[in-house]
Amino acid sequence: MKKIISIYFFMFCITLSVCYGQKSVVQNHTIDAKASKETKALFFNLKNLAGKGVLFGQQDALMYGIGWKGEYDRSDVKNITGSHPALFGWDLEAIAKNDSKENETRSAEKIKSYCLQAYKMGGVNTLSWHVQNFVTGKNFYDTTRCVSAILPGGEKHQEFTSALDKIALFIKSLKTENGVAVPVIFRPFHEHTGNWFWWGKPFCTVEEYKALWQFTVQYLRDKKQLHNIIYAYSPDRISGNFDNYMERYPGDNYVDVLGFDDYHELKDINDERSINLAVKSIGQICDYAMSKNKIAALTETGQEKIVQPNWFTTIFNKIMGDASASRISYLMVWRNAHTGHFYAPYPGHPGEADFKEFYNNPKTLFMMDVGMDLYKTK
């Protein structure tokens, strides 16, 4: 019953938005004045989900799961609910690092196939980038100062733009048989309020981080002429302090999605204080996003190994019970790598029943609930 109710509920909400808000259909609120019609439609429909429904997503969901890998049209989420997530996270690390051209091409083709599969089903693709340290050549966890070196005039700027060229080539390649450029949500330099990535707060100034973000957007949007990108900003937890969220915000002209990654404060459903802080933070982000015609999202979250079987319904009810926080358009949990590292239940897991209840909530939207409607407007 939930599937039927949700499909019509979703379409009814979008129809109302179209019929009673004609100006918002033709207006382009993305930061790209040349955004493709499918990209504008996705932005519009995600924004208009606020308060009506929340897309559920998972990282690498089609690629592998617990006890399987590379099986077509399979995900752990679908194994339990009968439907894939509505949103899929992928990472671009392997296609833009100092590796052989053969390995980079193979990685790009693999991720491309999953992005096209997700789009053809009606799903949303969001891309993160765990990018290598350009100064040392080591991975993203090497916190040797790097940002100043890759900005214009820096000694590693050419290496950075070469990596961006690879990202641009990949995003440009995301086209259907009919030549439609597949819209993507690009989420670079995430969790920058933490201290675990080289672009983190302790390792660059406020001005350097903003300059890095702005240059990246200008390079992809203006120099490479990519018009199928929605740009997402996603610090780590801010514990209800919105000033911390905005400290390194690159500006409304450079951000489409105001996101937020929070594992720590949402990891324990018995920790009321932490959860309340997380919900407060989400609400603050939603309030700002609504005031600026932008999308709000919980871009990464989850409880590793789901040690509390009712985690999903408890956390979702907390978020949806708050007038402001309930206006997020999507939430995404991390990947199901193996039995020691997973964030969505799999068949036989104690959290399976709770996840089915979460799925059956009329306000959770999975693939079966949306079809291709996210890429269309009247």
* Residue 159 is among the residues annotated as catalytic for this protein: no
Q: Please report, for residues 50, 65, 90, 106, 113, the alpha-carbon distance to residue 70 in angstroms, rounded to integers and kept in the order given.
A: 34, 9, 14, 14, 11
Polymer length of the chain: 378
CA 99 – CA 104 distance, rounded (Å): 6
Three-state secondary structure readout of 273-341: HHHHHHHHHHHHHHHHHHHCCCEEEEEEECCHHHCCCCHHHHHHHHHHCCCCHHHCCEEEECCCCECCE
Helices and strands (DSSP H and E) totals, the chain: 13, 12
**d(C-alpha 140, C-alpha 1), whole Å:** 45
135 Cβ partners below 8 Å, 6+ apart? 144, 145, 146, 149, 156
Name the catalytic one among 38, 104, 191, 265: 191
Q: Among the options 38, 104, 265, 300, which is catalytic?
A: 300
Residue 191 bears catalytic tag? yes
Alpha-carbon distance of 309 to 345, in angstroms, equals: 9
Crossing angle of helices 311-320 and 272-291, in 10° steps, is 50
Q: How many CA atoms lie within 13 A of 51 on its CB side?
A: 10
Distance CA 135, CA 149 (A): 7
Given the structure tokens 């690879």, which residue do they identify? 166
User: Which are the catalytic amino acids?
Assistant: 191, 300
